[in-house]
Structure 1
Amino acid sequence: MQEDYRRWYSHHLGRDIEMLVYGNWGYPVVLFPTSMGRYYQYKDFSMIETVRWFVETGKVKLYCIDSIDRDSWYAKHLHPGTRIWNHVLYDRFLHEELVPGIQRECNVQKIGVAGASFGGYYALNFAFRHPEQVGHLLTMGAAFNIRSFLGGYYDENVYFNNPPDFMPNAHNDDFYRMNIVLGTSEYDFCKGSNYQMSEILNRKGIRHRLDVMPWGDHDWPVWKQQFPTYLSMI
């Protein structure tokens, strides 16, 4: 399986973002790490091995990228306004730098985004903020309300990066063209967040799949079973 290490300098962030890219060609899927995870996390936990067939046969090309959690959501030493602003800069890096580069590299109009746990928040938030760039959204064991990270602080940036807040009022035709899978499991402590998001989408008439596995909790064995199943839907 082709594996490439890359460093992408972001002008918005003023730093390099590291990533591992799997595959020579195929439909591009950006894979976001879990809380405080690094770009090599899905390799270390053998998640990439579960989708080897999709990569080696050229069905998908995976971009496992770094987060900046230590400077945003988990940077407790920073003022909440600074934390959310750092996330806004990360979103601009994705929207204006990384994703357009992937679109050119793979010659596609839209990409896929995916992630487990907090990576699922990143995937869904990006997809719903920029639906014109995303054709497939796959989340596993995710929660989507980030207010608890900010100790009561609230501003416009929080609103537009908290999907349970902005999605009820969002309008975009691309929502109705997106393949959306919300994956969770019976004993996942994030299950309620998935039901809540599913209800928001139902009220808007946005087609999606809420997949609740009848066993398992918030852990890698569940996500490693879900990921290849969800990729097969692309």
Structure 2
Amino acid sequence: MKAQMFTLESKDLQKSFDVAVFGESGTPVLVFPEGDSSFASWQEAGMIDGLASLMDDGAVQLFCVDSADDLGWYSRFAIDEYRVDNIEGYLSFVKDGLVPFVRAHAASPAAPVALGAGMGALNATLAVLRDPASFGGLLALSGSYDVRAFVNGEPSALWEKVSPLSLVDALGPRAKATQELKRLRLAFVCGQEQSESGIASQKTLEEALAQKGVKATFEYWGYDVSHSWGWWLEETRQLLPAILSPGGLEERRVSARVAYAANEDEHARAALTDARERLAAARDALKIAIKDAEATAARVQREDASVEQKRGREADLMAKAAKLWEERDRVAALLAEAEGKARDVQGQADAAAHDRADAEWIAGEAKAAVEHATQNRLSAEARIAECEAAVEAAQAASAAAASALSAVRAEADAEVAAAKRPAAKKAATKRPAVKKAATKKPAAKKAASKKPAAKKAATTKKTTGTSGAKGGKASPKAARGAK
């Protein structure tokens, strides 16, 4: 099987698109990719190998092309204008660039058949609806034809230009596009498994084309037929030859209706069998439930009796609890009163303790004052004793001084008397000797100057009590010495 690679440019999108050509002869088939937007999606999924017999037999020549779905259908968060402009730009590229390229490079002059699965089915359908004159047929597998599936919220009027349902609704009964569509071989196929989310939109499209008088084949395969490459390969193997063969789709419509009816009958039978099984299971469950209900009724009676018994006990205990709560309230009131009294007495006790502390402090201060007064008394008594000793010493000294004075006076009187005697002349010759005696008088004064020493001796014995008086007796001796 021959394979060739080409690259085309889109001026509107400023983007390059790769085209892979498989086969050397046969009706050209323009293949639109699935969700990855790559021309290689069909080859990587095994579709090219699966259809190799058609190409080897020279029935078809496949032209697999890139798409721009990432700029439009999948760009959900872009603004509508950007998305719709990119979708229209791609459809313009298909009409003005891709279709002319296919016609120029195809081995057959026949108009190309548009083929696509999933997202490719939507693009193939749009290409045919917008330019039916450029195509010879359409095979759409598991497509979703309502743009609401690709728009957040309700689509704006901009989306009508790229909505298959809107384009069909806009067809006039005598419009050229309508007449071109009527001549085409159109086939739409999908399964009925849950992954086939576009089945509702395919049924809506079926009704819309029928209202416009456009005959198209719509097939709804089994409930196990899913949105997957394996089923798309089988659908292509069956439907693509029917599109290529004159009258093939008409025969297919009859057989498809029979197959659909048989499939629905089988599904209904399976559903009936399942319903009967579920009904039998439900009946068995009902029997079990009845037995359980009977057993439960007996249990309910027992439990009701138990409830009544417990209700009576509850009432009795509630009454007892109420009385105990009343007693608790009474005791609490007494306790609160006692606590108040205790707080009052405690306050008085605290005040008494404070007063006692103050009294102890004052008593301590008084004791300190007593100790101080005692020391002052002892000091005063000591001073009195010292003073008494000093008085005694002074009295002794005074007596000694008076005695000395009497003696001096007596001597002086004797000398005066002697001087007055006749022998005084002779005594006058001895005057120097008298003068010499007179010179000794300062010595008496010197002895007198020593009296403070006697007092000092007395003061040193103040602490001896009355012994100071004995010390004071030394003063007369000193006086005598001075004499």
For 2:390, the equivalent position in structure 1 comes to none
Tell me which amino acid in the other structure corresponds to 1:60.
V
Secondary structure in structure 2 of the residue aligned to 1:189: coil
Q: Deviations over 1:92-125 (max 9, x none)?
A: 1011111012123235352110111111000111
| Residue number in structure 1 paired with 2:458 | none
TM-score (norm 2): 0.47
Deviations 1:137-179 (A, max 9, x none): 00111111123423234234x2121011121221321111100
% identity of equivalent residues: 21
Distance 1:203 1:153, change over 3 A: closer
Secondary structure, counterpart of 1:64 in structure 2? strand
Q: Distance in 2 between matches of 1:62 and 1:139?
A: 15
Is residue 27–residue 110 contact of structure 2 (8 Å, CA) maintained in 1?
no
Q: Secondary structure at the match of 2:25?
A: coil
- Structure with the bigger RCO (C-alpha within 8 Å, sep 6+) is 1
Higher helix share: 2
Distance 1:142 1:77 in 2: 22
User: Which residue of 178, 195, 203 corresponds with 1:195?
Assistant: 203
Partner of 2:46: 46
**TM-score (ref. length: structure 1):** 0.94
Amino acid corresponding to residue 102 of structure 2 in structure 1: I
Shift of 1:11: 2.2
Equivalence for 1:159:
160
Q: Report the secondary structure of 1:29's partner residue.
A: strand
SS at match of 1:39: coil
SS in 2 for 1:216: coil
Question: In 1, are the aligned partners of 2:114 and 2:137 still within 8 Å (CA)?
Answer: yes
CA distance in 2, matches of 1:99, 1:19: 12
Secondary structure of the residue aligned to 2:4 is strand
Alignment pair present for 1:174 and 2:180: yes
Q: Which residue is 2:442 aligned to? A: none
Matched residue type, 1:159: E
- Does the Cα contact within 8 Å between 1:147 and 1:162 map onto a contact in 2? no
- The answer as to whether partners of 1:189 and 1:217 remain within 8 angstroms in 2 is no
Indicate conservation of the 8 Å contact 2:31/2:115, yes or no. Answer: yes
Which residue is 1:71 aligned to?
71
Q: How is 1:1-234 mapped onto 2 (pairs within 5 angstroms)? A: 1-106=1-106, 108=109, 110-151=111-152, 152-156=154-158, 158-170=159-171, 171=175, 172=177, 173-187=179-193, 188-214=196-222, 215-233=224-242, 234=244
Indicate the RMSD between aligned Cα atoms, in angstroms: 1.5
Letter in 2 for 1:32: F
- Partner SS for 1:92: helix
Q: How many matched pairs?
A: 233
Runs of 4 or more off by more than 6 Å in structure 1? none
Native 8 Å contact 1:81 1:153 kept in 2 = no
Change (3 A) 1:141 1:3: same
- Structure 2, unpaired ranges of 5+: 245-483
Distance in 2 between residues matched to 1:24 and 1:130, nearest whole Å: 26
| SS at structure 1 position matched to 2:61 | strand
Native 8 Å contact 2:147 2:155 kept in 1: no
Structure 1 residues 186 and 153, CA gap change in structure 2 (3 angstroms): closer
**Higher radius of gyration, 1 or 2:** 2
Q: Secondary structure at the match of 1:81?
A: helix
Q: In 1, distance between residues paired with 2:68 and 2:163?
A: 17
3-state SS in 1 of match to 2:239: helix
Measure the CA separation in 2 of the matches of 1:160 and 1:144.
13
CA contact (8 A) 1:141 1:218 kept: yes
Partner amino acid, structure 1, of 2:57:
T
What SS is found at the alignment partner of 1:160? helix
State the AA in 2 paired with 1:206: V
Structure 1 residue 12 displacement after superposition: 2.5
Q: CA deviation at 1:78?
A: 2.5
Q: Who is 2:378 aligned against?
A: none
The answer to whether the Cα contact below 8 Å between 1:35 and 1:117 also exists between their aligned partners in 2 is yes
Higher strand share: 1
How far residue 37 of structure 1 moved from its aligned partner, in angstroms, is 3.3
Three-state SS of the structure 1 residue aligned to 2:6 is strand
* Distance in 2 between residues matched to 1:186 and 1:87, nearest whole Å: 29
Moved more, 212-221 or 110-119: 212-221
Q: Secondary structure at the match of 2:74?
A: coil
Moved more, 80-89 or 11-20: 11-20
Comparing 140-149 with 37-46, which one deviates more in the overlay?
A: 140-149
